[in-house]
Amino acid sequence: MSLKWPAELETIALRVGSNDGLNRPQASGISTASVWQMESPTAADAALAGASERFVYRRDGHPNERELAEKLAELHGGAKAVITAQGMSSIAAVVMSSLKPGATAWVANELYGKTSKMFAVDLANWGVTSVVFDPTDADDLLKLEQSRAELVIVETMSNPRLRVPDIRRCSEATHAAGGLLMVDNTFATHLICRPLLLGADFVIESLSKMVCGHSDSMLGLAVAADAALGKRLQDAMSTFGMASSPLDCYLTHRGLLTLALRIERAAANALALASALEMSEFVKSVDYPGLSEHPQHALATSQFAGTYGWMMSFELDTERMTVERLFNALLPEIAFVPSLGDVCTTLSHPASTSHRSLNAAQLSALGISSSTVRISVGIEPTDWLVERFAAALRT
């Protein structure tokens, strides 16, 4: 595996500390202040208007948020980033800053379940119409091009079946329709794909996942391609109370420092495990963009930075092995955890967790069944990991 991300994506991430002219700490501190003193109403007015770098109230920004946001904006190639309380609030910040009652959004057919529910149910209650489409289908992209979509949302690698849309083509179709493109980049991070450089207007990520990497914080990221869109994001975050925790920002910033090392190992493990499962008599099919049989393998090879990520899914042959038996056979080293992006390999069951809000027909249309298993691959020794799954399947 030949990684192609630029070296500066690692060196920028490794910048630590701030220089006050005398002392430069090697580790960032945690600022727990919720409000800052102002010497005058004029100073407060300037800070709240964004005319100065001063902090006023944590809801509008704080030192740990700014340090992480500025670094991630640079890493993504964006004009402005905001850090929100969680991944879903990052999506909400984009939605609240971009849509009005009567608007139309085009929503990819395969997304994280809560995202699909937000558009299908919650935003429908606010008068927003959602059109579901397949971003990997050329005919659907032509229809999008001829639509009047105000906002389009896709995932870099879809959850849970790892379909890969052509982000540049999605951007062209969205902009032809007069809309804005939002890309959920959680399964990739800036190291594997930078959608803003492919024409997206917004990138969102659940930083709770691989960027943090240790299952001990909850944060979201929204990055805007230009300053005007960034200002709208900032206003939405403040108005709707989506602000982040200093401790969570600190923990996530610490995780960012080792992200490149963890992705390199986890992605190599994922490719090895996917290749082994593909050959197993207990497995019907494997979804991983790094496999040559994957329908978007060639696109993923050109669109990604020399690696295909740490996420995968597979369909278990339940005539030979049930999901419950497999999960039990992998314990205690590999646990069932309804999340992803940890240093440890974990399992999830989309039908009962991330996509439980979908009915049977909707799950079937996406190719998700009760025997679909999603794996978030960790940084364990590769040979051990492959053999651990092989042994569990033989049980």
How many Cβ atoms sit within 10 Å of the Cβ of residue 176? Answer: 15
Q: Which residue has the tokens 């904006």?
A: 73
Catalytically annotated residue among 112, 250, 288, 308: 112
Alpha helices in the chain (DSSP H): 8-11, 41-48, 63-76, 87-98, 113-117, 138-145, 167-176, 189-192, 227-239, 246-256, 259-278, 297-303, 323-330, 360-365, 382-394
Q: Which helix (H) or strand (E) holds 286?
A: strand 283-287
Is 59 a residue of the active site? yes
Q: Which of 54, 57, 59, 114 is catalytic?
A: 59
Which residues are paired to 183 by β-bridges?
154, 203
| Beta-bridge partners for 35 | 57
Nearest to 285 by CA among 341, 368, 364, 382: 368
Based on the number of CB atoms within 10 Å of its own CB, is 8 exposed (0-12), middle (13-18) or buried (19 or more)? exposed
Q: Of 140, 184, 287, 342, which is the active-site residue?
A: 184
- Using CA atoms, how far residue 157 sits from 90, 163, 189, in Å, is 18, 5, 11
> Is-catalytic flag, 209?
yes
Q: How far apart are the C-alpha atoms of 48 and 60, rounded to whole Å?
A: 8
List the structure tokens of 362.
């909707």
Nearest alpha-carbon partner for 162 in 278, 348, 297, 262: 297
CB 297 within 8 A of CB 350: no
- Catalytic site residue from 209, 262, 265, 388: 209
List active site positions: 59, 112, 184, 209
